[in-house]
Structure 1
Amino acid sequence: MKWLVTAGLAFVALALAGFGLIAVLVIDSDANAADDNIDSKAGGGLRNVPTEFHPWILRADAACKHPEMTPAYLASQLYQESRFNASAVSPAGARGPAQFIDGTWATWGRDYDSNGEISRTDIGDSVMAQGALMCSLLGQAKSSGYTGDPRALALAGYNAGWGRVQEYKGVPPKSFARGETYNYVQLIMSKIPHFEGQTAGLITVTGRGNGPDALRRALDRLGTPYSWGGGTPSGPSTGFCDRANGYLHGKCSASSTAGFDCSSLVQYSYWPTTKLPRVAAAQYGETSHRPVARDQLQPGDLLFWSHGGTSAIYHVALYAGDGKVVHAPRTGRVVEVQPMTAAMPQGDYFGATRP
């Protein structure tokens, strides 16, 4: 593999930086928030990505309305830019895993990880800015009328600047910049399948039916951030904070985090085959006529925890088999697989139902 910008190609990167966007190294459990918008955007799964990048890639995907955006698309671009190296620096001065130059970072950089610093070398800040820029470019590509895959056009705009895409009315040819942009697009597009995946190897789901299908849908969202009040039947969304929930490090994380809380993940997973209510207690009420003993649990069954009685149910998870659950635990965490005994306090376990 030889996609690193060498000294011999440094002048190309510098030239691109002058008129483009990026110089490249070529290489708290439940909230009531109803939403009737069910236009779906399936983001797809993700694999072969470093653990620290996984939730941010999923978050960046969830924040974009364009279905052409997928986690694997962003991951393939990050791999090409930096090999997932947060400290990467190009000869043109581009920095971080998404290789932003100063001018572009000034426009797109934000403190997405809420650590008090806006930094290109912060994985959260860089990946979210990459996603925001790529989402904008996808919108331009789709409205441009140019022939070709909008994903390829957007990648060309990220690499060479949208002005070059307009100049060539498509991806710049091999003759442009010694094939820099052309090869960049080809390599990223060809590598996307390498990063596509359903369950990151954590859970294997067999069979079909209401429960297994819902479980697959939930597992497809592993790594999606928790957002109190966030999540709809169509996918992740920002949430809100009340007096006690949705805060992280003293700031209202939920209002700027696209994700799920525990019950919206369950609602999303079963929708539209089974249209469950929005909150955990209501989900229990809707399904309580089909209780399931602990030794009879099947994939996709709903597990509930309570502080005492049906009115105090505060958490719901989907049974994933082998004594494990998939759930959205709390602010600061992501959709994850955990042992059932460690998901919530064992003394709070209330029971299980089968939708």
Structure 2
Amino acid sequence: MKNSLLYCLAAASMALSFFFERSPDSHLRNRTNAPIIAEASLLPDFSGGKEHLAASASYRDSLAYHYYSQTLGLNLAYTENKDLLRTVTDWLGTPYRYGSNSKKGTDCSGFVTRVFKEVYGITLQRSSRSMFQNVQRVAKDEVKTGDLVFFRRGPGQPIYHVGIYLKDGKFAHSACNGGVMVSSLNQAYYHRNFYAAGRVETE
């Protein structure tokens, strides 16, 4: 009886050993049709110390900048403010809603105030006209990433719209006909109604 019990335990042990040695490998191959080592090679190698960690971080930064470049339609130098690019990307597609500033809906000044609060920790005035009164004027050909761009519908008309300049003549804003998006200052409508650019002191 004692020997029979030992034989049963030994047989069960062998079966379990075979299952745990073989099952994960065959399951992974059936799911991906690729060797396990191919997946493992995609993971960062932390065995080389600080150099490998730095290389891994640089690689992740490159991937992030590439994603923002594709998503926002910009030619990036990979030195731009990554927090700004990420925040604008996160807000893309938010619907327009007058008087609101959440991801359920936002108007142009609401979008700008939220981005500046999240990226720079700065609280801006709530309306585009008030914002314009508190910025340093910048020539159109000297506008930089993070500057504000203001629009009006003709001489003597009040400012009615504001956006955040990104790069390559493009700016992020919340438009009443499409929500948060990236547009170009060279588009006929925005080229015609562009009024001024302004810089907020962020340091």
The TM-score with structure 2 as length reference comes to 0.56
Give the drift of 1:310: 7.8
Q: 1:276 aligns with which of 124, 133, 137?
A: 124
Q: Which runs of 4+ in 1 moved over 6 A?
A: none
Q: 2:113 aligns with which of 247, 264, 267?
A: 267
Write out per-residue CA displacement over residues 305-329 of structure 1, whole angstroms, 9 at most, x where no aligned residue.
0135687000001111011111111
Counterpart secondary structure, 1:271:
helix
2:167 maps to 1:295: no
Residue 312 of structure 1: aligned partner: 158
User: Which amino acid in the other structure matches residue 341 of structure 1?
Assistant: N
Identity of aligned residues (%): 30
Query: Larger helix proportion, structure 1 or 2?
Result: 2
Structure 1 unmatched runs, 5+: 1-196, 237-257
User: CA separation of 1:310/1:207 partners in 2, compared to 1, >3 Å: closer, same or farther?
Assistant: farther
Write out per-residue CA displacement over residues 4-44 of structure 1, whole angstroms, 9 at most, x where no aligned residue.
xxxxxxxxxxxxxxxxxxxxxxxxxxxxxxxxxxxxxxxxx
Write out per-residue CA displacement over residues 233-273 of structure 1, whole angstroms, 9 at most, x where no aligned residue.
xx33xxxxxxxxxxxxxxxxxxxxx2111111100000052
User: CA separation of 1:216/1:291 partners in 2, compared to 1, >3 Å: closer, same or farther?
Assistant: farther
User: Which amino acid in the other structure matches residue 336 of structure 1?
Assistant: M
User: CA separation of 1:225/1:321 partners in 2, compared to 1, >3 Å: closer, same or farther?
Assistant: same
Separation of aligned partners in 2, 1:351 and 1:221: 24
User: CA separation of 1:310/1:217 partners in 2, compared to 1, >3 Å: closer, same or farther?
Assistant: farther
Structure 2 unmatched runs, 5+: 1-65
Query: Larger strand proportion, structure 1 or 2?
Result: 2
Length, aligned pairs only: 130
Counterpart secondary structure, 1:202:
helix
User: CA separation of 1:319/1:282 partners in 2, compared to 1, >3 Å: closer, same or farther?
Assistant: same
Instruction: State the Cα RMSD in Å.
Output: 2.7
Write out per-residue CA displacement over residues 132-182 of structure 1, whole angstroms, 9 at most, x where no aligned residue.
xxxxxxxxxxxxxxxxxxxxxxxxxxxxxxxxxxxxxxxxxxxxxxxxxxx
User: CA separation of 1:259/1:282 partners in 2, compared to 1, >3 Å: closer, same or farther?
Assistant: same
After TM superposition, the structure 1 = structure 2 runs for residues 1-355 of structure 1, keeping only pairs within 5 Å, are 199=68, 201-203=70-72, 206-207=78-79, 213-231=83-101, 235-236=102-103, 258-271=104-117, 273-287=121-135, 290-308=136-154, 312-330=158-176, 332-342=177-187, 344-355=189-200
User: Which amino acid in the other structure matches residue 276 of structure 1?
Assistant: L
User: CA separation of 1:343/1:200 partners in 2, compared to 1, >3 Å: closer, same or farther?
Assistant: farther
Separation of aligned partners in 1, 2:67 and 2:115: 14
